[in-house]
Amino acid sequence: MSTLAAPFFTTSAMAAIFAADAQLAALLRVEAALAKAQEACGVIPPGVAAEISKLGPSAIDHAALTAGLMRGGNLAIPLVKQLQEKLPADAARFVHWGATSQDIIDTALVLQMAEALHLIEAELHLLRDRLAVLADSHVRDPMVGRTLLQQAVPTTLGLKIAGWLAALDRDAARLDDARPRLLTLQLGGAAGTLASLGDKGPPVADAMAANLELSNPPLPWHGTRDRIAEAGSLLALLIGSLAKMARDFALMAQTEIAEAFEGDAGGSSAMPHKANPVSCARILACHARAPNLSATLIAAMDQEHERALGGWHAEWEVLPDLFALAAASLEAARTLADHGRFDTIRMVGNLEMTGGLVMAEAVSLALAQKIGKAEAHRTLETAAKRSLSENMSLRSVLEMMPETSGLDLDALFAPRRYLGSAPRFVADQLAARKRHV
């Protein structure tokens, strides 16, 4: 359904791929490729493919197509009828020869999917490269690591960004791995046997797949919909990875945290001072919709026998919606990566805001070398409670405790000295990317 808010959930480029005229063009391309393959295999006389290729989307009556869909249950039936009416009689009689509606509709969807995947992968590549630069440039910038929404121990901004990047690298690898499974021809005839083409069925399928630059699977997949469900699941995973990035960024952008800012964040209709994280909101809104859409594709997998009633039809709008949401999320994430800002000074200030409590683990581990882990933990727990109740820094409390005499508190309360392997982890992630480029 098209609304004024629709552009928030897609991009112009992705919307064009799944627009009505683009879908019609894909359907016509499939019919022409079928005819061309059959001509090459001697199934039908030459010339049919050329006649079909002369017709573009503008030659098709959209209203009649929709009316035919409502009567026949799919777009191929009224499309073939219009082709037969518009083509010369010698060509019209051989249009759609031996195929079934699902062959044409599924293959057309795969063609649109191929174009959409190319767009997604290109945008994902640019985003990943930008995040790699950011992770490297902030590799040693300390910030608070937060667990269960509470301050935990120091980490680095570079490691946080590298975490976003690592997930997106895996998403890219999954999409690349799935391509041969997803971009496949559908040609099985009425019930998946291609009996309508006799012994010419397999060679026609080979030729048709070559015409469309698709792979030809060992057998038709009318009723087995794991390919479509996999595509939807991969897109939902990608959107989820982008949502993790958006959620982190939005939390860091809260007024009280103020560690991150969108470049041109949105304002408020009522409050002039506000700078809302709109790109984050766009990604998170897309993510809120994606799981149920992906689940719809999985729910539709239990299709009856050789061709389904309802389950197949349920897929038609869902997969394009997931591609739209993925494209919108990527566009918004690119905005964050390209124009967002990080306040590393504020990050240091947030490390210090608890009066050293964020360094309690470091002190506890050092103290454990003297008095044992359990006793050290109890000592630091007691000290932390006093720090909070008496509004004293943890260091001040520890300096009054005989148990901590001899500890190098200057070193133990230096966040930059308690980053562990964070810089190494970032370097390893960036090195792994270079090995796989």
**Which is the catalytic residue, given 146, 307, 395, 433?**
307
Backbone angles phi and psi of 341, in degrees to 5: -125, 150
- H or E, element range at 59: none
CA dihedral 346, 349, 353, 355 (to 10 degrees): 170
Known active-site residue 268:
yes
- CA 405 to CA 402: how far, in whole Å? 5
User: In sequence order, which ranges of 138-191 are alpha helices (DSSP H)?
Assistant: 157-182
Catalytic residue among 268, 341, 416, 421: 268
Name the maximum alpha-carbon separation found in the chain: 102
> Has 433 been annotated as catalytic?
no
Q: Scanning the structure block, which residue is given the tokens 């959620």? A: 247
- Residue 303 neighbours by CB distance under 10 Å: 18
First vs last C-alpha separation in the chain: 39
| CA–CA gap between residue 346 and residue 408 (Å, rounded) | 26
Q: The tokens of 2 are what?
A: 């098209």
**Kind and range of the H or E element at 379?**
helix 373-389
Active-site positions? 268, 307
